[in-house]
Structure 1
Amino acid sequence: MTMKHNGAKKLSQMSNFYSTFDQINGVHPWMEAVKDGFVAYRVRQLNTGKIAYFNFALAKEMGLIPADHSDQMNDELAEKLIETFSLQIINEYDELTNRRIDPETIRPHKYMATRYLQLQHANKQGKTSGDGRGIWNGTVYNRGITWDVSSRGTGVTCLAPGAVSAQKPLKTGGTEFGYGCGLAEMDELLAASILAEVMHLQGIRTERMLCVIDLGKGYGIGVRAAHNLVRPAHLFLYLKQERYDSLKAATDYLIDRQVANKAWDIKAKGAAKYDELLDAVCKSFAEFTALLDIDYIFAWLDWDGDNVLADAGIIDYGSIRQFGIRHDKYKYDDVERFSTNLNEQKQKARLIVQVFAQMVDYLKTKQKKPLRDFARHPMVLKFNSQFVEFRAQRLLYRMGFNEKQRANILEKKDLFEKFDREFSFFERAKVSGSEEKVADGVNHPALYNMRHLLKAYPHFLSESPLPFEKRWMLEKDFFKTVLSSFAKSRDARMGEKQRLHIESFQKLYRDLVVTAAGKQKPDTILKGICERAEKLNSDKRITGNALIEMVDEIITEKKRGLPLEQIQKIVDRLVFDHNGMPEIPVGRFYKEKEFTGAVKMDLFAKLLSLVEENKESI
């Protein structure tokens, strides 16, 4: 057998080894279910680019690579990823100008850019909006779960805000009109790769980045995956347009997918299933928003249901920030309008549930009633009570209490409410002065760092030699521990008001520990609380500012010759440090994972120093 024949045989075998990627070919069930819910585009293979990041754990979970595949990129896998995902649409501008395209590079199936509601468009009914620079690559089915796969940075569509405002087809890569380029920058793709996986490891529903392809000149393609990438906005546009049949088709599709994936337990048939849908949505959004509130995660929610998944999960990391402390006055400046802030996320989530209530009523009656008629809908009121319950659970979880201990505490509702008032006094306090400009918006910084206190205080109780009831942290030590780096000189003076709250906080915190312990002695549970609180309030938390500076540093080093495999290892290492959060089921590919990749230590040390410098920032 000749050497040439041997090489061809090996290439064929490797191609078959990664043949699972062939199912990702542009075909998606949404195209059949909601026939007017997308714009179809011919797509061409770019046959260029390099793999900057590949999520091996996610790929194994999706069944795209074998479970025992090494977490190392090889030439054959890289080639398959480029073949599958290095794509660009042939858009209206290309068609009008008769752009010369090699027919052999054109994929056999058209890919869809989906339509959905977006408030940033002048038309508030979703007639012009949707995926402006992305396409849906298709679905992957593995072990009873269907995954959606989509890409951003694949060319400007007619649904892009820039194309709509220009009132003409735009050329991909053009910068004349805002939100009209159609490309994605490498810094945003790498930032999303890190933060999405960190969120996943914290037990937050989210899209995840499967792959990042570096196309050169600062641009790339980001491939994301989730069990369901449908947003509320995919349904709401048909509600606003009063297109009953399309709304029913889209809603039925959502229900069927969620039930098939065992995400929602909806058993009813006919119109009754929409009531169960509403109940599932209410619970999901109450839990999600409570988690964002306690974990200081900024996500730009609004009634259009654009920047969120239909099952209440994170999508589009361009508008996601993880704060170090409660900067609940921060607002992002999007030129034409400011975003919501952390405090307003609850009311916006409730408004999304209210729109769902309006939608369900329309589906059942075929008559669209005004949104205000649903302000006191039972499910909207249920959202309020469920938010309170989930928020209490999440706060106690973040403090380090386990499930049984939380149950013991919440049996004494009055005790928790008293503690929560004291906690909120510190958590929501602001530095003296007023709102100030920051790089991308406005903020009024938080005065106290409660994450630091939640980590330090159980250690103090655990290490004190005194009887439990006599363990009091000195007021000056407590105040020093809790004071944030944003405090001005006048803020750093402790007054009588602060002393009273410090005393009350300590008393109530100890009461929580006694109650959590039940029939045990408090000291028997302090060690576990310390360990959990240490992990859940770690200084390795990556804030929004830290992430921006870290990715800038990585991109700068890349320009100086940093190999792409180092970017992969650094992203993996940063993500892996967030593995092992209490009570978070992350799947066996993280449980079995051991980080062994050698990172460029001087660069990694620099990145960790940026995390430390920004640990209290937005």
Structure 2
Amino acid sequence: MTMKHSGARKLQQVTNFYSSFDQLNGVHPWMEAVKDGFVSYKVRELQTGKVAYFNFILAKEMGLIPADHPHQMTDDLQEKLIETFSLQIINEYDELTHRRIDPETIRPHEYMATRYLQLQHSNKQGKTSGDGRGIWNGTVYHRGTTWDVSSRGTGVTCLAPGAVAAQKPLKTGGTEFGYGCGLAEIDELLGASILAEVMHLQGVRTERMLCVIDLGKGYGIGVRAAQNLIRPAHLFLYLKQERLDNLKSATDYLIDRQVMNKAWDIKSKGNTKYDEMLHEVSKAFGEFTALLDTDYIFAWLDWDGDNVLADAGIIDYGSVRQFGIRHDKYRYDDVERFSTNLNEQKQKARLIVQVFAQMVDYLKTKKKKPLREFAHHPAVQNFNKVFDNKRAERLLYRMGFNETQRSHILAKEGLFARFDKEYSFFERAKVSGNTEKVADGVNHPALYNMRTIMRDYPKFLQDSPLPFEKRWMTENNFFKTVLSGFAKARDARMGEKQRRHIENFQSLYRELVQTAAGKNKPEHILKGISERAEKLNSEKRITGNALIEMVEEIITEKKKGLSMEQIQKIIDKLVFDQNGMPEIPTGRFYRELQQTPAVKMDLYARLLSLVEEHKESI
């Protein structure tokens, strides 16, 4: 066999090995379902960049690479990823200026930037807004499940806030207008890669990062994937514009995808299916928001349904943070306005459900009624009920109680409510003084760290040699354990009020344990509670501030010569260290992991020290 034929066969083998990526060619069913729900763009292959991160586990779940593919980047895989994802749109500015582009680099299919409602646009009906720097690569179908894949950092579209403000086409990479650059910064993308996968491993519904392409000069392309990337905002713009046919098409598309993926159990046809969808949405948002509340996850929710997935999940990690303690007065400064805070997320999520109720009524009656008429709709009331139930369930889970133990506690009328009152006294207390400025907004820090007491108290009860009824932590030790690092001198003095709440907390905690034990002795379940609580309230929790500084450290090392392979391994290890949360199904590919990757230990130690330094921050 000649060398020429041998090389051709090798190329054919490589092409076949990674041929699943060829599904991602710009064609997406939304284009057929909602004819003007997008702006289409020709795209060109940049033929440049390096893979800074690739989510091997997600790629295996999606069937993009074989299940037994080594957890290692190969030249052939890198080449395929660059070919598939290193793209840039040929936008209106390029067309207007007759930019010279090699026709060989232009993809055969146009890619879509979708239209959706966005409050940051002056037009509140979604006529000008949508994907401002992103395109949808298409869908992947594997084992009965369809996945959406989209990329950000692929060039400025006409739907970008900057392009709308400028009232003219913008050049990709220009910085004259805010939100008009069209590019994505590499630190933002690496941060999202870590945090999204950490959220996934905690059982939070979320988009996940499939791949990050480093284009150099601080910019990159981030590729996101989820089983459905549609946002409520994709539907709400047609409600606001009172375009019934488009709204019906978009809603039917959402329902069909969710049913096909077995995410929603909707059996009805006709208008009844919209009522069933509303019930699914109400339940999903109630559970999702309760989880954000108990786990101190800030995700900027608002009635437009922009920064959230339609099935209730996180999308757009630019303003998402995981707090160390309950910083529920933190607001992100988005230049023209401040974000909502942690306390307001429930109200905003409920408002999203209310808009869904208005939308369903419009679909059924063909007449749009005022939003206020749906304030007490059964779907909204169901949201409230689901939120309360899920919050109780999730808090007890975070405390280390297993499913059976939680059911015993919640079956005893009034017990959780009494405990929650004492718990909330500590959790919601703030340090003395007023709201103060922080790097990217404002905050009034939390006074107490409930994660430490949830971790340390069951261990104290377990280790005490005394009979269970006599195992009391001294007031001073309790107060010292629960006090956060933000406490000022005047906050660190324990008064009679604090003593009373400490006594009540301990008394009710012990009642929870006794009730959870059922017919067993409370001493017999303390070891299990303690082990779970230690895992669930780990000091390795990555807060928003820690993540920012960790990524800065990685980027600094990259400039000094840190290889892409090491960046991949470091991100993998940071993520894998969060694996193994009790009761969270993570899929076979996480379960099959035998060991975490070997990393540059001096750098990794510095990253862990940043986690420790910021463990209580925003």
Shift of 1:523: 1.0
Q: Note closer, same or farther for the CA distance 1:596–1:616 as it changes in structure 2 (3 Å cut).
A: closer
Structure 1 residue 472 corresponds to structure 2 residue 452: no
Amino acid at match of 2:209: M
Structure 1 residue 436 corresponds to structure 2 residue 468: no
- Provide, for residues 70-122 of structure 1, a one-character-per-residue CA deviation record: whole Å limited to 9, x for no partner: 00000000000000000000000000111111111110100000000000000
Structure 1 residue 243 corresponds to structure 2 residue 240: no
Asked if structure 2 preserves the Cα contact closer than 8 Å seen for 1:298 and 1:341, the reply is: yes
Amino acid at match of 2:149: V
Shift of 1:594: 2.6
- Provide, for residues 44-82 of structure 1, a one-character-per-residue CA deviation record: whole Å limited to 9, x for no partner: 001110000000000000000000000000000000000
Amino acid at match of 1:6: S
**Which residue number corresponds to residue 183 of structure 1?**
183
Classify the secondary structure of the residue corresponding to 1:413.
Answer: coil
Classify the secondary structure of the residue corresponding to 1:5.
Answer: helix
For 1:210 and 1:234, locate their aligned partners in 2 and report how far apart those are by CA, in whole Å: 23
Structure 1 residue 348 corresponds to structure 2 residue 348: yes
**Which residue number corresponds to residue 84 of structure 1?**
84
**Which residue number corresponds to residue 234 of structure 2?**
234
**Which residue number corresponds to residue 132 of structure 1?**
132
Shift of 1:572: 0.1
- Provide, for residues 381-416 of structure 1, a one-character-per-residue CA deviation record: whole Å limited to 9, x for no partner: 111111100100000000000111000000013111
Residues 148-547 of structure 1 mapped to structure 2, 5 A cutoff: 148-547=148-547
For 2:522 and 2:4, locate their aligned partners in 1 and report how far apart those are by CA, in whole Å: 73
Shift of 1:262: 0.4
**Which residue number corresponds to residue 2 of structure 1?**
2
Runs (4 or more) in structure 1 with deviation over 2 Å come to: 2-5, 594-597
Classify the secondary structure of the residue corresponding to 2:155.
Answer: coil
Unaligned 5+ segments in structure 2 are none
- Provide, for residues 188-214 of structure 1, a one-character-per-residue CA deviation record: whole Å limited to 9, x for no partner: 000000000000000100000000000
**Which residue number corresponds to residue 117 of structure 2?**
117
Amino acid at match of 2:200: H
Classify the secondary structure of the residue corresponding to 1:280.
Answer: helix
For 1:377 and 1:31, locate their aligned partners in 2 and report how far apart those are by CA, in whole Å: 33
Shift of 1:186: 0.2
Unaligned 5+ segments in structure 1 are none
- Provide, for residues 361-391 of structure 1, a one-character-per-residue CA deviation record: whole Å limited to 9, x for no partner: 0000000000011111111111111110010
For 1:531 and 1:260, locate their aligned partners in 2 and report how far apart those are by CA, in whole Å: 39
Amino acid at match of 1:332: Y
Asked if structure 1 preserves the Cα contact closer than 8 Å seen for 2:576 and 2:596, the reply is: no
Amino acid at match of 1:353: V
For 1:272 and 1:413, locate their aligned partners in 2 and report how far apart those are by CA, in whole Å: 36
Amino acid at match of 1:532: R
Classify the secondary structure of the residue corresponding to 2:489.
Answer: coil
**Which residue number corresponds to residue 553 of structure 2?**
553
Classify the secondary structure of the residue corresponding to 1:281.
Answer: helix
**Which residue number corresponds to residue 587 of structure 1?**
587
For 1:378 and 1:214, locate their aligned partners in 2 and report how far apart those are by CA, in whole Å: 48
Classify the secondary structure of the residue corresponding to 1:442.
Answer: strand
**Which residue number corresponds to residue 18 of structure 1?**
18
Asked if structure 1 preserves the Cα contact closer than 8 Å seen for 2:572 and 2:596, the reply is: no
**Which residue number corresponds to residue 66 of structure 1?**
66
**Which residue number corresponds to residue 101 of structure 1?**
101
- Provide, for residues 501-543 of structure 1, a one-character-per-residue CA deviation record: whole Å limited to 9, x for no partner: 0000000000000000100010111111011101100000000
Shift of 1:235: 0.1
For 1:513 and 1:528, locate their aligned partners in 2 and report how far apart those are by CA, in whole Å: 11
Classify the secondary structure of the residue corresponding to 2:369.
Answer: coil
CA-atom RMSD in angstroms:
0.6
For 1:15 and 1:36, locate their aligned partners in 2 and report how far apart those are by CA, in whole Å: 35
Shift of 1:4: 3.5
For 2:376 and 2:437, locate their aligned partners in 1 and report how far apart those are by CA, in whole Å: 37
For 1:597 and 1:350, locate their aligned partners in 2 and report how far apart those are by CA, in whole Å: 42
Shift of 1:23: 0.7
Amino acid at match of 2:266: I
Amino acid at match of 2:141: Y
For 2:382 and 2:511, locate their aligned partners in 1 and report how far apart those are by CA, in whole Å: 30
**Which residue number corresponds to residue 39 of structure 2?**
39
Amino acid at match of 1:260: M
Asked if structure 1 preserves the Cα contact closer than 8 Å seen for 2:540 and 2:611, the reply is: yes
Amino acid at match of 1:235: L
Shift of 1:596: 4.2
For 2:378 and 2:69, locate their aligned partners in 1 and report how far apart those are by CA, in whole Å: 50
Count of equivalent residues: 618
Classify the secondary structure of the residue corresponding to 1:490.
Answer: helix
For 2:389 and 2:343, locate their aligned partners in 1 and report how far apart those are by CA, in whole Å: 17
Instruction: Give the TM-score normalised by structure 1.
Output: 1.00
Classify the secondary structure of the residue corresponding to 1:245.
Answer: helix
For 2:342 and 2:155, locate their aligned partners in 1 and report how far apart those are by CA, in whole Å: 33
- Provide, for residues 19-64 of structure 1, a one-character-per-residue CA deviation record: whole Å limited to 9, x for no partner: 1110110000000000010000001001110000000000000000
Shift of 1:11: 2.0
For 1:319 and 1:362, locate their aligned partners in 2 and report how far apart those are by CA, in whole Å: 32
Classify the secondary structure of the residue corresponding to 1:139.
Answer: strand
For 2:372 and 2:169, locate their aligned partners in 1 and report how far apart those are by CA, in whole Å: 38
For 2:360 and 2:69, locate their aligned partners in 1 and report how far apart those are by CA, in whole Å: 45
**Which residue number corresponds to residue 49 of structure 1?**
49
For 1:328 and 1:413, locate their aligned partners in 2 and report how far apart those are by CA, in whole Å: 29
Asked if structure 2 preserves the Cα contact closer than 8 Å seen for 1:573 and 1:595, the reply is: no
Classify the secondary structure of the residue corresponding to 2:116.
Answer: coil
